[in-house]
């Protein structure tokens, strides 16, 4: 079974655009869980342009499914995660000025750093995942960091799938996932997954444990409603 973790960054963006507390992230997260999603993901960035560090603390009190916090492990992020103790932390090598995540880790170059950070989180009972491009070499490097899981960065899949290059879009992901499974790593995936591409991705990536989906899911919900859309994903992930 592949779990759906809904990334609520975009709801925070909407809230922040007006000040105030509409939409209320706590109510939204509870509703998303009640619609059947098996997790809530947030990706606080140091500028707190969408999710604020305080949101992470507040959400921890009410999330009853899997709580996944993603981000670049700068000192303030590490402190936040150790305080909040989510189910899972996903490490993403965000550049400060990036609009959104745009690359996976170089798990070879940053091995020593990743080993140290992952050890710290695991000592505190937090499952770890690291964001990687669909590269066998990067997956092999990830396995040497001690991480529990990887998250495959699916932007290139989504882009090529939308262009109609189905087989080409999935091939490196299938190969990277096969290697991850052989090395004992759990497999998550995310970025630009949507209602059009999720079924094909799921069908072609065995052992896919979890997908985190935000941007498209919230955009689709504008037309079809959050409850419907969550259920449409759950149906495609069966
Ligand atoms: C790691 C990843 O792909 C997502 O967390 C994505 O980066 C969402 O972040 P934004 O909502 O800031 O684009
Ligand atoms: N880890 C990926 C994520 O949380 C959501 O990414 P996106 O669906 O907003 O592109």
112-126 pLDDT tens trace: 999 999 999 999 999
What pLDDT sits at residue 96?
82
Residue minimizing CA distance to atom 10 of ligand 2? 191
* Beta carbons of 147 and 185 less than 8 angstroms apart: yes
Name the closest-CA residue to atom 12, ligand 1. Answer: 100
Question: Residue 94 Cα, ligand 1 centroid: separation in angstroms?
Answer: 9
- List the beta bridge partners of residue 39: 5, 66
Distance (Å, rounded) from C-alpha 139 to C-alpha 65? 27
Read off the tokens for 36: 């059947």
Beta strands in the chain (DSSP E): 3-7, 39-42, 66-71, 88-91, 127-132, 149-153, 186-190, 208-213
**Atom nearest to 155 CA in ligand 1:** 3
70 lines ligand 1 (CB under 6 A): yes
Domain ranges of the chain: 3-236
Catalytic residue among 33, 66, 151, 191: 191
CB-ligand 1 contact for 190 (6 Å cutoff): yes
- pLDDT lower than 50: segments of the chain: none
**How far, in Å, CA of 69 to CA of 86, rounded?**
7
What ipTM score was computed for the predicted complex, to two decimals? 0.96
Look at the alpha carbons of 134, 116, 110, 146 in this order and tell me if their dihedral is positive or negative: negative
CA dist 15 → 6, 8, 89, 119, 176 (Å): 17, 11, 24, 35, 37
Residue 70: active-site member: yes
Q: Are 176 and 154 in contact (CB under 8 A)?
A: no
The H or E element spanning position 157 is helix 155-162
Per-residue confidence (pLDDT) for residue 95, from 0 to 100 = 87
Tokens of 46: 């140091």
Residue tagged active-site, from 33, 43, 210, 220? 43
Best of 91, 215, 233 for a ligand 2 pocket test (most atoms within 8 Å of beta carbon):
215
Q: How many angstroms from the chain centroid is the CA of residue 95?
A: 17
What confidence score (pLDDT) does residue 218 get?
A: 98
pLDDT at 26: 98
Does the beta carbon of 104 lie inside 6 Å of ligand 2?
no
Which residues sit in the known binding site for 3-amino-2-oxopropyl phosphate? 7, 18, 192, 214-215
Q: Answer yes or no: 43 catalytic.
A: yes
Give the per-residue pLDDT at 208.
98
Q: Which pTM does this prediction carry?
A: 0.97
Distance CA 109, CA 142 (A): 11
Cβ atoms of 183 and 204 closer than 8 Å: no
CA 130, distance to chain mean position in Å, is 10
Residue 97, pLDDT score = 83
Give per-residue pLDDT as tens, 10-55.
Answer: 999 999 999 999 999 999 999 999 999 999 999 999 999 999 999 9
Architecture of the structural domain at 3-236: Alpha-Beta Barrel (3.20)
- Asked if residue 191 has its Cβ within 6 Å of ligand 2, the reply is yes
| DSSP state, residue 225 | -
């Amino acid at each position: 079974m592949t779990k759906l973790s809904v990334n609520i960054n975009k709801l925070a963006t909407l809230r922040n655009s007006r000040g105030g507390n509409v939409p209320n992230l706590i109510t939204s997260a509870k509703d998303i869980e009640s619609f059947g999603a098996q997790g809530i993901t947030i990706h606080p960035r140091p500028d707190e342009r969408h999710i604020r560090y305080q949101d992470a603390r507040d959400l921890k009190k009410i999330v009853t499914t899997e709580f996944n916090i993603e981000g670049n492990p700068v000192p303030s992020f590490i402190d936040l995660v150790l305080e909040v103790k989510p189910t899972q932390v996903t490490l993403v090598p965000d550049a400060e000025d990036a609009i959104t995540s745009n690359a996976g880790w170089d798990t070879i170059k940053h091995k020593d750093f990743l080993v140290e950070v992952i050890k710290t989180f695991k000592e505190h009972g937090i499952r770890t995942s690291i964001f990687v491009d669909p590269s066998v070499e990067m997956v092999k490097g990830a396995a040497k960091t001690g991480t529990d899981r990887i998250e495959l960065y699916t932007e290139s899949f989504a882009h090529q799938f939308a262009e109609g290059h189905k087989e080409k879009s999935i091939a490196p992901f299938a190969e990277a996932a096969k290697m991850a499974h052989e090395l004992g790593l759990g497999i998550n995936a995310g970025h630009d997954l949507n209602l059009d591409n999720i079924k094909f991705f799921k069908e072609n990536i065995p052992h896919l444990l979890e997908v985190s989906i935000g941007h498209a899911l919230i955009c689709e919900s504008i037309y079809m409603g959050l409850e419907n859309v969550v259920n449409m994903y759950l149906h495609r992930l069966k």
